[in-house]
C-alpha cells in the first residue's frame, strides 16, 4: 500500500511556514529532535528514539570460516528490516526503494569507512574469524530513518562485547561469559549521519 | 595484491592519463530498433547501453499518478562485464541502489507533467565494467531520453572524481576505484550548473572536498560538449535525410 501524500492544505501550510522561518513542530532550521538512547539487558542491544522515530539495533556474533582470498578479515553484516509496524507504506518481504537506500547508506557509512577493524576479528588466519551481525529494526517511522539507524548501529557496536578467545597453538578456546569478561570490539571512529533537505528551491 | 602505483612521480596515472583528463568517450544514439530511444556510451573501457520506452501506458494501475508520468529504472550488469564472471542476483542491493540513484537524478529534470497517467521506462545494461558505471549510466540515459524525444529541462552530465594519492583526479577506472581512495559522482545540469546527484563512497577529508567537487564539475562540462556534439550530428543527419 502506498503511503498517502500530504494534502494540498498541509503542504501549502508547511511551505508558507518555512518561508517565515518556522517549522511545524516549533524547531529552528538546524535543530535536531531529542535523542534518547535506551540500552537493553544484553550487550549490543540499543533502542534509539529521535523524536517519535524509533529504531532498535542488536549485535550478535559467531565464529565462521573466512573467505579464501581474505583469510585475516572478519565479517561485518548489516540487516535492516522495515516492517509494516513502522509505517503503513512498508510491506513484508518486498524491498522498497527507501529500504534499499537506507540499508546501503548504513553499509557504506560503517563498512566502507572502516569504522570497525575487521582484521581484529581474526582468531586463526584462514580458519576461524568472528562474524559480527547487526540487525536493525525500524519500529516507528516519523522521518529521518537514516540518522536514527546510523546512531543505533554505531552505538550497538560500541556497546557490544564479544566473548574472549584464547589461542594456544592450534587449540582455540572460546570462553563463556562466566569464565572471562567479554571484550569490546575495536572501533576506529564513530560515523554520524546528518540529513539535510532543501525546500522552495533553497 | 601488490600495491600498484596509482600516481607516478611524473604525475601520470596508472593508465597514462593526467589527473584532470577524461577517458576516450564514444557515443551513438538510436542503436536499438524497438526502443523509443536508445544510446550506447563508452567511457574508455566502460560500456553501457541505455534503452528508453515511453511515455507509454503504466503497467500497474495502482502506481499511476494523475498529473505526471512515473519513471521506472532497471539496471542490469552482465556477468561477463567484470574480470571474473559473476552472476548478480536481480535483487542485489548495489544494483537497486544505483537504479534508484538514476531515477532520482532524472525525476526533477524530466518534465513529467507533460505526460500524465503514463510511465517512462529506462533500461540500462552494463556490458563492460571498468569504473565509473554510475556516471556512464546517467550519461547514456540522458542521450537515450533525448533520442526518445522526452522533454527535459536540460542535459544531465555526470562525472566521477576522487583523490588519487596526492592529487584530485577525474574519471576513475576500476583499479583506482577498488583501491582505498574515495570516489565522488556528480550529476550536473550544465546550463544552470545545478547538481541533481552527489554520491560518495569511502572517506574523504573535508578540506579536499571542494577541490574534488570543482574538478568533477569541470569534467561534467566536458562531458556536455561531447554529448551535445553527438546529438546535434545525429539531428543534422536526420534533417538531411528528411529533406531529400
Domains and CATH numbers, chain A: 33-184 (3.30.230.70)
Grid cell listed for A55: 529504531
pLDDT band (50, 70, 90) for residue A122: confident
CA distance B67 to chain A (A): 14
Please check whether residue B47 lies inside any domain of the structure.
Answer: yes
Whether the Cβ atoms of residue B176 and residue B14 lie closer than 8 Å to each other: yes
**Domain contains B3:** no
Domain assignment present for B33: yes
Contact B48, B133 (CB under 8 A): yes
Please tell me the predicted confidence (pLDDT) of residue A202. 58
Q: Which residues of A touch B63 (CB under 8 A)?
A: 2
Rounded to whole angstroms, the Cα distance separating A125 from A117 reads 15
Name residues whose C-beta falls within 8 Å of residue B222's C-beta, 6 or more positions apart in sequence.
B22, B159
In a domain, B5, yes or no: no
Residue A104: in which H helix or E strand, if any? helix A97-107
Q: Which residues of A touch B100 (CB under 8 A)?
A: 97, 100-101
Residue A141 confidence (pLDDT) above 80: yes
Give me the tens of pLDDT residue by residue for chain B, a chain 244 residues long: 445 677 777 778 888 888 888 888 999 988 999 999 999 999 888 999 999 998 988 888 777 888 889 999 999 998 888 878 877 777 788 888 889 999 999 999 999 899 988 999 999 999 998 888 999 999 999 999 999 999 999 999 999 988 887 788 888 888 888 877 788 899 999 998 888 898 888 778 888 888 888 888 888 999 899 999 999 999 999 899 988 7
More confident residue, A95 or B13: B13
Bridge partners of residue B47, in order along the sequence = B42, B128
Q: What is the DSSP letter of A2?
A: P
Gap between the Cα atoms of B220 and B178, Å rounded: 22
C-alpha pair distances (Å), B239 with each of A202, B27, B32, B232: 41, 19, 20, 10
| Identity of the residue in A2, A103, A113 whose CB atom sits nearest the CB atom of B202 | A113
**B197 falls within a domain:** yes
Separation of alpha carbons A163 and A176, rounded Å: 6
Cβ neighbour number for residue A103 with a 10 Å cutoff:
22
Substitution target in B72, B197, B203, B205 with the highest count of A β-carbons within 10 Å is: B203
Task: With respect to residue B131, please indicate whether it lies within any of the assigned structural domains.
Answer: yes
Task: Compute CA distances B175 → A113, B185, B227, whole Å.
Answer: 18, 16, 26
Q: How many CB atoms lie within 10 A of CB B93?
A: 16
Residues 123-182 in A contacting B (C-alpha not used; CB under 8 Å): none
Residue of A nearest to B103 (CA): A97
Q: Is the pLDDT of residue A1 over 80?
A: no
Q: What is the largest CA-CA distance in chain B?
A: 61
- Copy the grid coordinates of residue A104: 546501503
Instruction: Please tell me which of the candidates B63, B93, B201 has its beta carbon nearest to residue A100.
Output: B93
Instruction: Give the CATH number of the domain where residue B182 resides.
Output: 3.30.230.70
Q: How many domains does chain B have?
A: 1
Contacts of A95 in chain B (CB under 8 A): 91, 96
Contacts of residue A198, defined as CB under 8 A and 6 or more positions apart, other chains included, come to none
Q: Do B96 and A112 touch (CB under 8 A)?
A: no
Comparing CB atoms, the residue among B91, B100, B203 nearest residue A113 is B203
pTM for this structure?
A: 0.85
The more confident residue out of A29 and A177 is A29
* Helical axes A97-107 vs B93-106, angle rounded to 10°: 110
Residues of B in contact with A97 (CB under 8 A): 96, 100, 103
Domain ranges, residue B21 = 13-243
Would an 8 Å CB–CB cutoff place A65 in contact with chain B? no
B129: in domain? yes
Q: Any residues with CB less than 8 A from the CB of A31 and at least 6 apart, and which? A: none
Residue-level pLDDT at A201: 63
Alpha helices, DSSP H, located in chain B: 93-106, 133-148, 174-178, 206-243
What is the DSSP-derived secondary structure letter of residue B114? G
More confident residue, B122 or A90: B122
**A110: closest CA of chain B, how far (Å):** 9
Residue B39 lies in a domain: yes
Omega before residue B55 within 30° of 0, cis? yes
Amino acid at each position: 500500500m502506498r503511503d498517502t501524500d500530504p494534502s494540498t492544505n498541509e503542504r501549502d501550510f508547511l511551505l508558507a511556514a518555512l518561508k517565515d522561518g518556522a517549522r511545524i513542530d516549533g524547531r529552528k532550521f538546524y535543530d535536531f529532535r531529542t535523542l534518547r538512547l535506551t540500552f537493553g539487558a544484553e550487550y549490543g542491544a540499543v533502542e534509539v528514539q529521535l523524536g517519535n522515530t524509533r529504531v532498535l539495533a542488536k549485535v550478535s556474533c559467531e565464529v565462521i570460516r573466512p573467505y579464501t582470498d581474505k583469510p585475516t578479515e572478519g565479517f561485518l553484516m548489516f540487516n535492516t528490516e522495515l516492517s509494516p509496524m513502522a509505517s503503513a507504506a512498508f510491506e513484508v518481504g518486498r524491498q522498497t526503494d527507501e529500504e534499499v537506500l537506507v540499508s546501503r547508506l548504513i553499509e557504506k557509512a560503517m563498512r566502507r569507512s572502516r569504522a570497525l577493524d575487521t582484521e581484529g576479528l581474526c582468531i586463526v588466519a584462514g580458519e576461524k574469524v568472528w562474524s559480527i551481525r547487526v540487525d536493525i529494526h525500524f519500529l516507528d517511522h516519523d522521518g529521518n530513518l537514516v540518522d536514527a539507524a546510523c546512531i543505533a548501529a554505531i552505538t550497538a557496536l560500541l556497546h557490544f562485547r564479544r566473548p574472549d578467545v584464547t589461542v594456544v597453538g592450534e587449540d582455540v578456546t572460546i570462553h563463556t561469559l562466566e569464565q572471562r569478561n567479554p571484550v569490546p570490539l575495536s572501533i576506529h571512529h564513530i560515523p554520524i549521519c546528518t540529513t539535510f533537505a532543501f525546500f522552495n528551491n533553497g | 595484491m601488490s600495491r600498484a602505483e596509482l600516481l607516478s612521480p611524473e604525475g601520470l596515472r596508472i593508465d597514462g592519463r593526467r589527473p584532470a583528463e577524461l577517458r576516450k568517450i564514444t557515443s551513438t544514439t538510436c542503436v536499438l530498433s524497438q526502443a523509443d530511444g536508445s544510446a550506447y556510451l563508452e567511457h574508455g573501457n566502460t560500456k553501457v547501453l541505455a534503452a528508453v520506452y515511453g511515455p507509454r501506458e503504466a503497467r500497474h494501475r495502482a502506481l499511476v499518478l494523475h498529473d505526471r508520468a512515473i519513471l521506472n529504472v532497471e539496471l542490469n550488469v552482465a556477468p561477463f562485464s567484470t574480470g571474473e564472471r559473476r552472476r548478480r542476483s536481480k535483487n542485489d542491493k548495489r544494483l537497486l541502489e544505483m537504479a534508484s540513484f538514476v531515477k532520482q537524478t532524472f525525476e526533477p529534470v524530466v518534465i513529467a507533467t507533460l505526460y500524465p497517467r503514463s510511465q517512462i521506462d529506462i533500461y540500462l545494461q552494463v556490458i563492460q565494467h571498468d569504473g565509473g558505471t554510475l556516471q556512464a549510466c546517467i550519461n547514456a540515459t540522458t542521450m537515450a531520453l533525448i533520442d526518445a524525444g522526452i522533454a527535459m529541462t536540460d542535459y544531465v552530465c555526470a562525472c566521477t572524481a576522487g583523490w588519487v594519492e596526492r592529487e584530485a583526479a577525474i574519471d576513475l577506472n576500476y583499479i583506482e576505484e577498488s583501491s582505498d581512495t574515495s570516489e565522488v559522482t556528480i550529476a550536473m545540469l550544465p546550463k544552470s550548473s545545478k547538481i541533481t546527484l552527489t554520491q560518495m563512497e569511502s572517506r574523504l577529508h573535508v578540506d579536499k572536498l571542494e577541490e574534488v567537487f570543482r574538478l568533477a564539475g569541470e569534467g561534467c562540462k566536458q562531458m556536455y560538449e561531447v554529448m551535445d556534439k553527438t546529438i546535434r550530428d545525429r539531428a543534422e543527419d536526420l534533417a538531411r535525410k528528411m529533406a531529400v
